[in-house]
A and B are shown apart, each in its own frame.
Chain A
Amino acid sequence: MSDRAFERLRNLLGPEGVERDPRGLPRAVPESDDALALVCQTAQFEGWKARVEGQGSWLPPDGPADFALSTRGMARIVRVSAADLVATVQAGTTLESIRAELQKHRLWLALDPPGRPDRTIGSIVASGTSGPLRHGFGPVRDHVLGCTVATGDGRLVDAGGQVVKNVAGYDLTKLHVGGFGGFGVLTELHLRLRAQPAMDATYLARGGRQALAGAGQSAVESQVGLVALELLAPAIAAVPEWTLAARLGGTVDGAHAEAARLAAVTGLTWEQLPVERAAAFWSLVARAPLSGEVALRLGGLLDGLPDLTDLVIEMLGEGLLAAGLGTGALRWAGDAEAEALKALRHRAAEREVPLTLERAPWPIRRVVGHFGAYREGVGLLVDRLRATFDPNGVIAVALEGRE
């Protein structure tokens, strides 16, 4: 089967368009959205299952499939419109190359997702993995204006557009952001950009978890103008104590004023990081979840975050825990068994908090699922939508998990 798929894909894409992954699985690397759609059509015809990946740096390349379908051959920055603060990029473009290009224009994609800098934008969007900047700029969905997607049966379709406000037709983009590829393979994205702020400063405070959380809460309640406010477990910053990391940006005078308020309302001693150390620090925070086999996120509420943090620590340990004190978003990374994750999901659900599995080896993903069981009335809708976008189940993804 593997050899036949390899040959068939080579006939479709040419010798450059197919390779073997480290496990010997054929890996299709189309260089255009048309070619990618053709691969999907062929897979549907042949009854193959595809494991979709970008650079393969986030999800382990271990899901059962007949071939891997990578977007790494589609890594072009199609257009940057500085005046409109919009960029169009192919899905296989890495975050670091997007950042480098935008830097030339003094622009910024205000996303700092977990993972390596060579993660593709398609992976980040498909998994909906935002980082600490969610505090100031919202989750991944707020940065995606539109996209082009190849459905499982190989139709190329557009969703959304290239302007910041748009309500023409249904907002299908939302299905693809955080849909883990279940509704098609992203091929191109229109991204919302921001002008680089005149000042971007990072401040750190160290101490006990409760004390830092309380101080951070004061900053939130006092509306200190921050773009990130993240409580980090000791293992993330490789220090003995917990870290409260605050990031602020804007005009120089405005940012200085906010920094002074931050100090005043929290009563903490803050260390301002020099620019190079700040970049290294946030890179460390982004890479931290890769130290464990599992990464998950929970959507809590401001007043429930301390309790939710306690719950996660009680059930999984401190691990590489990061909590957005202004957003209620909590990410945990580390090593955990499937049963423990399911138990945590159950306990979180009692608190009306969803748990999304972002990253794990296949045996865990298969059992736990990215989403687990759905709430009232949702399962049927998801099934119908999956059948609409991928009628023959070409895309192998464990959205729900199973025993």
Chain B
Amino acid sequence: MTAALVAALERLVGSRWVRHRRAELATYAADGLPTHESFPGIVVLPESKEEVAAVLRLLHLLEVPFVARGAGTGLSGGALAERESVLVTLTRMNRILEIRPAQRRAIVQPGVINARLSEAVASHGLHYVPDPSSQSACTIGGNVAENAGGPHCLKYGVTTNHVTALELVLPDGTSARLGSAHGEPWGPDLAGLFIGSEGMFGIAVEITVRLEPIPRQVRTIHADFMALRDASEAVSAIIASGIVPAALEMMDQSCVRAVEASIYATGARTDAAAVLLVELDGSPEAVAADGTVVDRLLREHGAREVAVATSAPDRARLWQGRKKAFGALGRIAPDLAVQDAVVPRSVLPEILDRIAAIRDRLGLQISNVFHAGDGNLHPCISFDRRDADQARRVQLASREIMEACLAAGGSITGEHGVGSDKMEYMPKAFDAASLDLMCEVRRAFDPAGRANPGKVFPLHTCREWRQGGVV
């Protein structure tokens, strides 16, 4: 990176908001993925959409690649930049621009922290539904890039179901407005295409989100099981009953023990093989009626104890245990690899058995905390990256888990994205023609391929790279 580029960026956003010394860059050299580290060439922190456009125009003219970044909580290495790239960090763009209660919409800048949005609209009886476990730190812009989910997406859908319009700055510095406040696309559904594109199509500088009424009543049910398979079958029975819980989460014994040994303890018994957290919401009458059915199904499938959180603090305590599980697991070992994969719900018991077998064979500690209702697994591998052999086994276990999920008809990621971490699995998930087409679609937004280069698609899967004779 040249001094001239630094100076030019400083003129655009102010010298305080351009970082280029190694010590300053260290903050941005990692995200939530412990196995990857990469120092960007320069970090720039624009404050407005105009500044973002000016920065991207400059980088376009100079043909410099860039990576957009929110809070850096991503778990797939998607927000890491190489030293040839400029990291455009959007945390200063953290204003809620408009709240429209009558329309149940809000317009936010990309750096708004997920949980802050719900807090800001709570006085209107509304909330923003997608609730990743990192919601106290992650940004809405990052959620858009990854199409983030969360426990309550079982009933209400993921980010793409809650973002209705986007204002973009494209990689050449020009603007585009996608979607509409209602959500009906203004043309083809380009907003739907943009969401989850992992920062490779441009930067969303204004995001219109759908707000939902805070449910009139919420019931959180905690059930423990002495067999993991019983808990999995209880999940299937609840879904098959026609009831759609707001959330349906599972933690295995290893995870429960980690939580109960931490400050996030919920009082759960640690001899259980699995714990289910079922949340119902709606009118008091419907919640009561559905609650009776769920209680019966849990017991019929072997629940040892079924308890209902009777107060808001009780509910908050149970959810803290679930959402801070990753933090609790982080205490076990120096590093934690949080994996993300999806399987058809019906194969949950088999895939959990398979993960246990991989764990035992490779001598690793793997804990499971996941969105059981939609088959979205998060095997968490505790390890020490300084132990090269252990790190190798972690990689091997991750690969075997991904391959098992794909073989079961699942996906390599349900909400964390592909990023740098899972590129190698993409050719296993998609055939060459489908991968080629995705590479071509990217060029519609970014003909030069300068936005978040080197992510999602292994280079050799793109047709023009192959045609270039490199292979």
Which residues in A have some Cβ–Cβ distance to B below 8 Å?
81-86, 128, 138-139, 141-142, 151, 155-159, 161-172, 174-175, 177-179, 182-183, 194-198, 223-225, 250-255, 257-258, 260-261, 297-304, 328-329, 352-354, 356, 371, 374-378, 381-382, 384-385, 388-389, 399
Contact = CB atoms under 8 A, between A and B. Distances in A.
A86 B158 CA distance: 18
B285 A169 contact: no
Contacts of A258: 283, 285-286
A197 B434 CA distance: 37
Nearest to A158: B434
Contacts of A371: 186-188
Contacts of B286: 225, 250-251, 254-255, 257-258
Contacts of A163: 342-344, 374-375, 409-411, 414
Contacts of B161: 138, 142
Contacts of B431: 157-158
Contacts of A251: 242-243, 286, 289-290, 293
Contacts of B236: 83
Q: Which 6 A-B pairs give the minimum distances between C-beta atoms?
A: A299-B184, A377-B176, A257-B285, A174-B192, A299-B182, A83-B346
Contacts of B411: 161, 163, 165-168
Interface residues of B, number: 92
B345 A84 contact: yes
A382 B441 CA distance: 10
B418 A378 contact: no
Interface of B: 102-105, 146-147, 149, 153, 157-158, 160-161, 168, 170, 174-178, 180-190, 192-193, 195-197, 213, 215-216, 236, 239-244, 282-283, 285-286, 288-290, 292-293, 342-346, 371, 374-376, 409-418, 422, 425-426, 429-431, 433-438, 440-445, 456
B253 to A, nearest CB: 24
Nearest to B184: A299
Nearest to B149: A165
A381 B415 CA distance: 26
A302 B105 CA distance: 10
A194 B242 contact: yes
A384 B413 CA distance: 28
9 contacts: A81-B344, A81-B346, A169-B434, A250-B289, A253-B288, A303-B102, A304-B103, A378-B190, A388-B437
Contact of A301 (B105, B213, B445): B105
A111 B299 CA distance: 33
A40 to B, nearest CB: 13
Nearest to A377: B176
A86 B374 CA distance: 12
A378 to B, nearest CB: 6
Contacts, number: 262
A196 B346 CA distance: 18
A399 B187 contact: yes
A277 B411 CA distance: 42
Contacts of B196: 167, 170-171
A386 B153 CA distance: 32
Nearest to B411: A166
Candidate in B184, B411, B426 with the most chain A CB atoms within 10 angstroms: B184
A247 B102 CA distance: 23
Nearest to B187: A371
B242 A381 contact: no
Give the residue among A138, A174, A352 with the most B Cβ atoms within 10 A. A174
A303 B412 CA distance: 41
A225 B192 contact: no
A385 B186 contact: no
A169 B176 contact: no
Given A175-B189, A196-B242, A388-B444, A329 B438 contact: no
Contacts of A171: 147, 160, 192-193, 195-197
Given A157-B433, A178-B188, A179-B189, A170 B168 contact: no
Contacts of B409: 161-163
B147 A353 contact: no
B285 to A, nearest CB: 3
Nearest to A261: B283
Contact of A164 (B187, B240, B374): B374
Contacts of A179: 188-189
Given A170-B442, A224-B283, A375 B213 contact: no
A385 B441 contact: yes
A138 B438 CA distance: 26
Nearest to A146: B411
Given A165-B375, A168-B413, A169-B429, A354 B186 contact: yes
Contacts of B375: 84, 163-165
A378 B342 contact: no
B181 A178 contact: no
Nearest to B431: A158
Which one of B103, B187, B425 has the highest number of Cβ atoms from chain A below 10 Å of its Cβ? B187
Nearest to A161: B411
Contacts of A177: 189, 192
Contacts of B195: 171
A302 B434 contact: no
Contacts of B242: 194-198, 250-251
A372 to B, nearest CB: 8
A170 B436 CA distance: 12
A142 B157 contact: yes
B185 A302 contact: no
Contacts of B174: 377
Contacts of B239: 85, 195
A172 B216 CA distance: 36
Contacts of B433: 155-157
A157 B177 contact: no
B417 to A, nearest CB: 6
Contacts of B426: 168-169
B283 A157 contact: no
A141 B163 CA distance: 13
B440 A388 contact: yes
A223 B193 contact: no
A257 B103 contact: no
Contacts of A376: 175-177
A258 B216 CA distance: 13
A172 B178 CA distance: 15
A225 B346 CA distance: 29
A167 B412 CA distance: 8
B193 A174 contact: yes
B437 A384 contact: no
B430 A158 contact: yes
Nearest to A174: B192
Contacts of B343: 163
Given A174-B192, A175-B189, A165 B444 contact: no
Given A223-B283, A371-B187, A352 B176 contact: no
A301 B441 contact: no
A322 to B, nearest CB: 15
A337 to B, nearest CB: 23
A141 B105 CA distance: 20
Interface centre among A254, A356, A384, by most chain B C-beta atoms within 10 angstroms, is A254
Q: Tell which of A172, A328, A376, A377 has the most Cβ of chain B within 10 Å.
A: A377
Contacts of A302: 102-104
